Amino acid sequence: MQDFLINQWNNFTNSFYRNFIEDSRWTYLTSGLINTLLITLGALVVGVVLGFAIAMIRTTHDRTGKLGFLNAIAKLYLTVIRGTPVVVQLMIIYFGIFASVQINAVLVAIIAFGLNSAAYVAEIFRSGIMSIDPGQMEAGRSLGLNYSQTTWKIIMPQALKNVLPALGNEMITLLKETSVAGYIGLRDLTKGGDLIRSRTFAAFMPLLAVAAVYLILVLGLQYLVGKMERRLGKSDRR
Amino acid sequence: MKLKKLLAAFLAAALCISLVSCGETDSGSSTPESSAESSVSETSDTESSATEESSSEDTAAEDPTAVLTDAKIGVQLGTTGDLYISENIADGLLGSAEIIQYNKGMEAVLALTQGKVDAVVIDNEPAKVFVEENEGLKILDTAYTEEDYAICIAKDNTELKDQFNQAIAELKEDGTLQQLLDYYINGVEGATPYESPEGITYDGKLIMATNAEFPPYEYHDSSSGQDEICGLDVDFARAICDKLGKELEVSDMAFDSIIAAVQSGKADFGAAGMTVTEDRLESIDFTDSYCTGVQVVIVKE
């Protein structure tokens, strides 16, 4: 029994050494992690800004009937982006749209994931804004505020609080979706694990390490979102 | 009202960005030329200082090491090209060269045609197909490395390995291997692919792990109306299995999963134009080599 355990332990340490220490293979993971974080953060910014703009167009159209043309474009955008897989979009952007342009692969990934995320964020924001009772708008207007003042000062603060959990969810999804970025030849965290696998031909340990790093990142995100929710929920009646 | 102004500004910004990117397309298409020029001048520098035998600029442009120095090199993840180039870059043999690993050899070549990489290092046979399919590409005459191809078998399965080695020896002897090499690689007229002897009965089956994106060793062929995996490795493996009285089953997977599949017993052996390397020998056993592969460099003409 003891021999068996010692043997297992030796196997484990050997495998650990081969997969991470030898030839400093752990650097594949760290450099991949940096790219993953860069892509996620960049895509998050693009997604939230663009998604918010689309949500504003859609809700303004729904509430007031204005901006019909822009609304049609936004709807088309949502249909196309939500109707196709993100890997395909990524490759179309890298090998198709930026075919003749020399552009950093990380930037391509930020654009692709940002555009993709924007479609989902737009619907999240829209659901949040539409969830606010129309009476709030009426009350604001009858107090003498104009449409945009009411939107920004009365509707938005309430809507943002409502969408925060869904937005956090989208952030987590986005982080994990970036794992396909390796398709365009850049090294993200998953590709870092693949690189180790292609060198050591061991499947278990590199994949487990990659999974653990993603899990830790998501736990961190969850903590931040939870903290923000608590902070924004201070004024709630309960 | 404010929203309209905002939108107008947003649209104007989008327009500007698209205009700028259109302008960049022009400059982008000129960049590869200028970078090619600079790499040529650099290669002649290194040539005059480092290489002894070559003196004319023509041979310098044909020398793989000189071409690859300080270049962006595209490879397929986990292939020998990837391993060699990574190692050489780590050892500082290729200057400030940068390696970009694509999931498929085809994608690396696509990136080369678009100027995203300066050269692709890949096996000779698929390289020929890629160059044939894409205009404006060429293979450097001098090979980057040469290597032995073999079939991989799990370390604890010495019995199967011995059987395979015997079968390979017999197939070399009776000319079957030569027939396959003639048909798939040398393109000899009148050569035929392998066909199982008639009336053969099988006792059990062997699963072969491969990555069918590596013509002419293994590739998907739908010319007969249904999709099947064929190629030199598949035919050769079928010939071996016929010798052993086993039925062959081909399992297509990513190249870097093959060794793991054979190790874990999901497949009995792996045949995918696989080179015998020290690293691989640590995790898996190889049969005797059945043919020689060459790593070549593809560049733009």
CA–CA distance, A118 with A151 (Å, rounded to integer)? 21
Does any domain span residue A2? no
Instruction: Specify the amino acid at residue A216.
Output: I
Does any domain span residue B34? no
Q: How far is CA B138 from the centre of its chain?
A: 15
Radius of gyration of chain B (CA): 24
B156 and B142, same structural domain?
no
Average of per-residue pLDDT values in chain A: 89
Does any domain span residue B230? yes
Does any domain span residue A22? no
CA–CA distance, B97 with B71 (Å, rounded to integer)? 5
Record: contact A195-B102, CB cut-off 8 A:
no
For B75-102, give one letter per residue: b (16+ CB within 10 A) or e: bbbbbbbbbbbbebbeeeebeebebbbb
Cβ–Cβ under 8 Å, residues B75 and B121: yes
Record: contact A195-B77, CB cut-off 8 A:
yes
Does any domain span residue A223? yes
Does any domain span residue B223? yes
In the three-class reduction of DSSP (H, G, I as helix; E, B as strand; rest coil), residue B57 is classed as helix
A99 touches chain B (CB under 8 A): yes
Does any domain span residue A10? no
CA–CA distance, B69 with B72 (Å, rounded to integer)? 9
The sheet carrying B247-252 orders its strands as B247-252, B205-210, B269-270, B152-153, B285-286
B160 and B128, same structural domain?
no
Residue B202 neighbours by CB under 8 Å, 6+ apart: B245, B246, B247
- Indicate the DSSP class of residue B156: T
Chain B residues close to A185, C-beta within 8 Å: 74, 100-102, 107-108, 111, 116
Does any domain span residue B5? no
B178 and B70, same structural domain?
no
Cβ–Cβ under 8 Å, residues A56 and A66: no
B226 φ/ψ angles, rounded to the nearest 5 degrees: -125, 150
B175 and B107, same structural domain?
no
Domain count, chain B: 2
Say how many C-beta atoms besides its own lie within 10 A of residue A164's C-beta: 18
Say how many C-beta atoms besides its own lie within 10 A of residue B33's C-beta: 11
Does any domain span residue A203? yes
B137 and B164, same structural domain?
no
Does any domain span residue B6? no
Give the range of the structural domain holding residue B123, as residue numbers without chain letter. Answer: 39-53+60-147+292-301
Cβ–Cβ under 8 Å, residues B122 and B74: no
B109-126 pLDDT, tens digit per residue, is 988 988 889 999 998 888
- Answer with the residue of higher pLDDT: A225 or B9: A225
B267 and B155, same structural domain?
yes
B174 and B69, same structural domain?
no
Q: Choosing among A180, A198, A204, which should be mutated to test the B contact, i.e. which has the most B CBs within 10 A? A: A198
Does any domain span residue A3? no
Does any domain span residue B20? no
CATH number at residue B200: 3.40.190
B257 touches chain A (CB under 8 A): yes
CA–CA distance, B243 with B246 (Å, rounded to integer)? 8
Radius of gyration of chain A (CA): 23
Nearest CA among A64, A18, A216, A105 for reference residue B101: A105
Instruction: Specify the amino acid at residue A1.
Output: M
Instruction: List beta partners, residue B76.
Output: B102
CATH number at residue B126: 3.40.190.10
Query: What per-residue confidence (pLDDT) applies to A108?
Result: 92
Record: contact B83-A199, CB cut-off 8 A:
yes
In the three-class reduction of DSSP (H, G, I as helix; E, B as strand; rest coil), residue A87 is classed as helix
CATH number at residue A67: 1.10.3720.10
Q: Give me the mean pLDDT over the B15-34 stretch.
A: 52
B193/chain A closest Cα distance in angstroms: 32
Query: What per-residue confidence (pLDDT) applies to A40?
Result: 95
B134 and B78, same structural domain?
yes
Domain count, chain A: 1
Q: Give me the mean pLDDT over the B62-68 stretch.
A: 84
CA–CA distance, B285 with B277 (Å, rounded to integer)? 10
Asked if this assembly's ipTM is beyond 0.85, the reply is no
Does any domain span residue B12? no
B52 φ/ψ angles, rounded to the nearest 5 degrees: -95, -45
Give the range of the structural domain holding residue A163, as residue numbers without chain letter. Answer: 27-233
Does any domain span residue A9? no
B177-191 pLDDT, tens digit per residue, is 888 888 888 878 888
Per-residue confidence band for A27, with pLDDT thresholds at 50, 70 and 90:
confident
Record: contact B260-A202, CB cut-off 8 A:
yes
Instruction: List beta partners, residue B251.
Output: B209
Does any domain span residue B178? yes
Does any domain span residue A5? no
Query: What per-residue confidence (pLDDT) applies to A64?
Result: 82
